[in-house]
Structure 1
Amino acid sequence: MYGHQQGDECLKLVAQSLNDKTTKLTEGLVARYGGEEFVCVIPKHSEEIVKQFAQDINQQIEQLKIVHEKSPVSNYVTVSIGLVTLIPKHATATDMNSVIKKADHALYQAKTAGRNQAIFYTD
């Protein structure tokens, strides 16, 4: 309906918002993880701060008012967020794969629970 150029522009606006918010909070990292998925790594912060960060991101993206006419959730682009916290001891590649799987699972839960929300992964 919107085309590749408009989709790319939407992704750029979302990425810029994520980057702006992440870098204000910490020396964190934002990276594109998939087609329309992003990863935000936010070191040295508590679970409460990360949850507030996610809520702020949801609001910030909605305030961009990027039109999404066919969305069953909103007239504007929204984001679903999967959260995981980790206190590393000696992080290994296997540990990081596990963290990514947990975050992906939380993201899937946020999408299936109605989108436009953050889900925090707990075991």
Structure 2
Amino acid sequence: MKKKTANLTVCLLLAIGIFMADTSTPLGIAVGALYILVVALSAVADSAVNIVALSLFCSGLLVSGLFLSPISAVPQSLVIANRCIFFILILLTGALGIYGQRMRQTLQARDAELVVANAKLELLALNDGLTGLNNRRGFDERLDAEWNRAMRDGAALSLIIIDVDLFKKYNDSFGHQAGDTCLVKIAQAIQLGFRRPGDFPARYGGEEFVVLLPETDLQGAWARAEAIRRKVESLEIAHPANPNGAFVTISLGVASAIPRANGHRGVAKLIEAADKALYDAKEAGRNRVAQASTDRGECGEQPSP
């Protein structure tokens, strides 16, 4: 606001000065051209230093013009006409300069709003709308990043794949709305079970969840998975069709590796190993944690718990 007021003051002072000078002389025309440059700068400059400097220079030329005016043999009527026209042009130019500055500030504000809106959209694109966890896309991006970081640091990277046991029968018994509520409760239990900043739980799709555990070996990942299994079981969500008891349970597959190969091949091997472990947990009767390890040639193995 102060900058706008200063620019407006400069415009008015110069307009009055040029109106008093003889603008029919070559010197007066030069002053007018410089004034237009001053206003143009006022519309784009972030500092008023250049504007003030040019204003002082123009003022000096105006003073000189007052002494040179009597020398020129120009009819008085033409002088007055030139003054009036030039005065109007000066005011219009000043108004356009201030308007341009306001428009620039408005566009900057809108650009900032667009940046915030785009950031929110990007966040929504990576989140699961039902559970509030990260979605499959967010998980894939994070897995690639953590794989590369673990390979660079020579650190272990573990993955847990979680599946809700007999979830289709749960939906058939209680309906899809109750199924959604069930998934939300399980997601909350998973999220509370992994509180380290690097832990990355996500909804993998349907009734499947995944958890990425940087700098965690197979033994540590197995212990975390077992704690989550017990936590979900303790929720005591009724599920009469579950042969392992009257409540909802989960099966978990755990895999761990020290990455030694870049690209999607090593990542795919880790997912494949965890998925195979999940299959083993289901085949063994569900409601349990099974572990696996990736091929040493691709990732390097971690010891079993």
Q: Same fold (TM over 0.5)?
A: yes
Taking the aligned partners of 1:104 and 1:47, their CA distance within structure 2 comes to: 15
Partner of 2:281: 110
Taking the aligned partners of 1:49 and 1:5, their CA distance within structure 2 comes to: 35
The answer to whether 1:50 aligns with 2:245 is no
Distance 1:120 1:5, change over 3 A: same
The answer to whether 1:92 aligns with 2:263 is yes
Q: Give the gaps of 5 or more residues in structure 2.
A: 1-172, 296-305
Q: Which runs of 4+ in 1 moved over 2 A?
A: none
Return the offset for 1:10: 0.6
1:25-44 → structure 2 map (5 Å cutoff) = 25-44=196-215
Return the offset for 1:92: 1.5
Return the offset for 1:90: 4.4
Taking the aligned partners of 2:197 and 2:291, their CA distance within structure 1 comes to: 20
Partner of 2:177: 5
Return the offset for 1:91: 3.4
Taking the aligned partners of 2:219 and 2:279, their CA distance within structure 1 comes to: 21
The answer to whether 1:121 aligns with 2:292 is yes
Number of residues paired by the alignment? 122
Taking the aligned partners of 1:67 and 1:101, their CA distance within structure 2 comes to: 32
Return the offset for 1:74: 1.5
The answer to whether 1:83 aligns with 2:254 is yes
Partner of 2:233: 62
Return the offset for 1:86: 1.4
Asked if the contact 1:81/1:107 (under 8 Å) is kept, the reply is: yes
Partner of 2:244: 73
Return the offset for 1:26: 4.7
Taking the aligned partners of 2:262 and 2:233, their CA distance within structure 1 comes to: 35
Asked if the contact 1:61/1:78 (under 8 Å) is kept, the reply is: yes
SS in 1 for 2:179: helix
Higher helix share: 2
**Partner amino acid, structure 1, of 2:185:** L
**Deviations along 1:65-94, whole A, 9 cap, x unmatched?**
111111111211111000000112343211
Distance 1:111 1:26, change over 3 A: farther
TM-score, with structure 1 as normaliser: 0.92
**Deviations along 1:31-83, whole A, 9 cap, x unmatched?**
11121111100111222211110110111001111111111112111110000
SS in 2 for 1:88: coil
Taking the aligned partners of 1:49 and 1:18, their CA distance within structure 2 comes to: 16
Asked if the contact 1:80/1:118 (under 8 Å) is kept, the reply is: yes
The answer to whether 1:14 aligns with 2:174 is no
Greater radius of gyration (CA)? 2
Q: Give the gaps of 5 or more residues in structure 1.
A: none
SS in 1 for 2:256: coil
Percentage of identical aligned residues: 37
Asked if the contact 1:82/1:107 (under 8 Å) is kept, the reply is: yes
Taking the aligned partners of 2:188 and 2:220, their CA distance within structure 1 comes to: 20
Question: Higher relative CO (CA 8 A, sep ≥ 6), structure 1 or 2?
Answer: 1
